[in-house]
């Protein structure tokens, strides 16, 4: 059994809920360029498949 504490999931959930706001705060120029009518696609599961130790 993996004994690591999952400290990543709460942050991922916060970013999922407030992604446009986070991008606007940290990267305002990028926020203005993105088409927010199309929802973002989060690829964290796909990344885990190609880099399971990250």
pLDDT digit string, tens, across residues 5-32: 788 888 889 999 999 999 999 999 999 9
pLDDT at 2: 60
pLDDT in tens, 28-53: 999 999 999 999 998 877 777 777 77
Per-residue pLDDT band for 54 (boundaries 50, 70, 90) equals low
| DSSP secondary structure string for all residues of the chain | -------SHHHHHHHHHTHHHHHHHH-HHHHHHS-TTSPP---HHHHHHH-TT-
Phi, psi (deg, nearest 5) at residue 22: -65, -45
Q: What are the sequence ranges of the domains in the chain?
A: 9-50
Whole-number pLDDT of residue 23 = 98
pLDDT at position 45 is 78
């Amino acid at each position: 059994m993996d004994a690591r504490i999952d400290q990543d999931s709460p942050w991922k959930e916060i970013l999922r809920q407030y992604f446009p706001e986070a991008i606007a705060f940290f990267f305002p120029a990028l926020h203005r360029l993105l088409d927010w009518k199309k929802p973002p696609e989060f690829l964290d599961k796909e990344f885990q498949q190609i880099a399971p130790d990250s």
